[in-house]
Structure 1
Amino acid sequence: MPAPAAVPAVRVDGVAVRFRTKKKDVTALREVSLDIAAGEFVAIVGPSGCGKSTLLKLVAGLLAPSSGDVLLGGERVRGPRRDIGYVFQRAALLDWRSARRNILLQAEMRKIPGERARARADELIRMTGLDGFEDAYPHELSGGMQQRVALCRALLHEPPVLLMDEPFGALDALTREQMNVELNRIWRETGTTVILVTHSIAEAAYLADRVVVMSPRPGAVTEIVDVGLPAERAYAATLASPEFRAATGRIRELLGAVSAHD
């Protein structure tokens, strides 16, 4: 008999989100369906206001769908989930806490035993290249280093799913490239399932196994583009590869088509 299919790490099944403003009813998402395998890296791109961040909030349990279901590891999401990590565009660090103590805030909130939390924090600090900056305060860190601290904080409890909402959008171009390379390496080392929302087509294609292209509001999946690159990706070589050029070309074509239609 054939082996049973693996349960997706994330399943979005026929999800719609509708809400009412003072003037009208608005549909943010319509009939969105998506399966993400354990350990997969999926990026989501689309026009502003198409519901990309809304989709992340559904997976995190911060927002309930108007119809359809969201499942994590086969379990229906019914409210805020403690088994995910979340990284936002702004690092949102506490100014009065050092980098290490900002990371360990996650442990305090989740009641993770101190010794275990400190060992995990040390591992993540090494992994993200923050050695020597553990005791620095946020104002002493660059924007890229602040985002590394935020990433460590999100990964401290070893979540099976990491959600990232435009985490590098406020960084300069060079720092953003460096963070892309770091994120690729960290993803490979941790095996975490990652869902990244980004407005950068190049970032999406460099980092992801698949790129979900969404339509203008009401957001729906226009197409899912398979990038076709190995997990380990040297930055310059990847950007010059035919697979990368084909993926970014197709994504641009799709976004251009939906923009023209809109």
Structure 2
Amino acid sequence: MSMTASRVADLVSLADVGVSFRTKRTDVTALRDVSLSVRPGEFVSIVGPSGCGKSTLLKLVSGLLRPSSGTVSLLGSPVEGPRRDIGYVFQRAALLEWRSARKNILLQAEMRRLPAAEARRRTDELIEMTGLTGFEDAYPHELSGGMQQRVALCRALLHKPPVLLMDEPFGALDALTREHMNVELRRIWAETGTTVLLVTHSIAEAVYLADRVVVMTARPGTIEEIIPVELPAERDYVRTVAEPEFAKVTARIRNLLGAASASD
């Protein structure tokens, strides 16, 4: 964790945030009265119905979107435009097909004009950390979906961001690969100390990964409840999903979402 982050009580803060916009037909309120604080090193998952504004929250934190009301702060300063001190991972890896895995990661360094030698060392560290050793020179079409997302994660972490935003990063993966990526992400988060905000439609994924789960209402999205996840820091996947605490939290989220009989 960076020294800057350690001096900030709340790394991310949204206070009474609202987002409204006008379409050709009507005025739409996407978010209303959203307040959320995230501490340094915390892992927070965000769940809610489709269209409730989960991804909009991430765009607010990144500065890609301005709130219509309320305030958004990052690292103790107002978010007033696109922030360069964050990492962002999307549902699609969005790798350049003509660049190898290593060169896709280093694209971040080129765009940020990072020192070349330092960027190469950091890339090697991330490749080893994410289990991509041996695939550094492979092109995207030679990688599985899970490996492509690992490359995208390395690219997002290259500049050591204090905050990592993840927008349904494993939604396109099969169930077994998704579980494996959950385990890997939890391990990588523990090793890097980066603060993570994860948007997901999977209740099980949200609970397994997070310290707290933010449950949102249908549009206009607001926070229904923030649920602490009191599971051990070390989380073996099979044992964790069998824990009474895991069952209790997932059941609570399902009840709030009106999805008690629905699958993830």
**Same-fold status (TM-score > 0.5):** yes
The answer for the alignment partner of 2:146 in structure 1 is 144
Question: Normalising to structure 1: TM-score of the pair?
Answer: 0.96
Q: Tell me whether 1:159 sits opposite 2:137 in the alignment.
A: no
Q: Would you say the 8 A contact 2:229–2:249 is kept in 1?
A: yes
Residues 21 and 28 in structure 2, CA contact (< 8 A), matched pair in contact too: yes
| One-letter amino acid matched to 1:101 | K
2:222 equivalent in structure 1? 220
- The Cα of 1:52 is off from its aligned counterpart by 0.2
1:29-44 matched pairs, under 5 angstroms = 29-44=31-46
Q: Does 1:129 align with 2:131?
A: yes
Q: Which amino acid aligns with 1:205?
A: V
Question: In angstroms, what is the RMSD of aligned CA positions?
Answer: 1.1
Q: Which runs of 5+ in 2 are unaligned?
A: 1-6
Secondary structure of residue in 2 paired with 1:81: coil
Which residue in 1 is equivalent to 2:231?
229
How far apart, in 2, do the equivalents of 1:8 and 1:247 lie?
24
Q: Which residue of structure 2 aligns with residue 256 of structure 1?
A: 258
Task: Indicate conservation of the 8 Å contact 1:188/1:232, yes or no.
Answer: no
Distance (whole Å) between structure 2 residues aligned to residue 223 and residue 246 of structure 1: 15
Kindly provide the amino acid, as one letter, of the partner of residue 241 in structure 1.
E
Contact 2:8 2:76 in 1 (8 A): no
Distance 1:86 1:133, change over 3 A: same
The 5 A counterparts of 1:90-129 are 90-129=92-131
Runs (5+) with no aligned partner, structure 1? none
> How many angstroms does 1:230 deviate by?
2.0
- 2:213 aligns with 211
CA distance in 2, matches of 1:93, 1:194: 22
Distance in 2 between residues matched to 1:136 and 1:57, nearest whole Å: 31
1:48 equivalent in alignment to 2:50: yes
Please tell me the residue identity of whatever aligns with 2:253: I
Q: Distance in 2 between matches of 1:247 and 1:105?
A: 39
The structure 1 segments of at least 4 consecutive aligned residues displaced by more than 2 Å after TM superposition are none
**Structure 1 residues 1-20: aligned runs within 5 Å:** 6-20=8-22
The aligned residue for residue 77 of structure 1 is 79
Q: TM-score, normalised by structure 2?
A: 0.95
Say how many residue pairs are matched. 254
Identity of matched residues, %: 75
